[in-house]
């Protein structure tokens, strides 16, 4: 259970980082890290 939870959290973090990087590269230089 601990291993599955860790993997799920890492996958979510990686996906969120990818989405944030794509959003920033697309048109988020003014908000930088103020997306949410």
Q: Specify the pLDDT at position 9.
A: 92
Enter the tokens of residue 22: 């794509």
Nearest-angstrom CA–CA distance, 14 and 9: 9
pLDDT tens column, 1-36: 677 889 999 999 999 988 887 777 766 566 655 555
The model scores a pTM over 0.85: no
């Amino acid at each position: 259970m601990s291993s599955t939870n860790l993997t799920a959290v890492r996958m979510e973090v990686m996906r969120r980082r990818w989405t944030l990087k794509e959003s920033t590269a697309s048109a988020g230089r003014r908000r930088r890290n103020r997306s949410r």
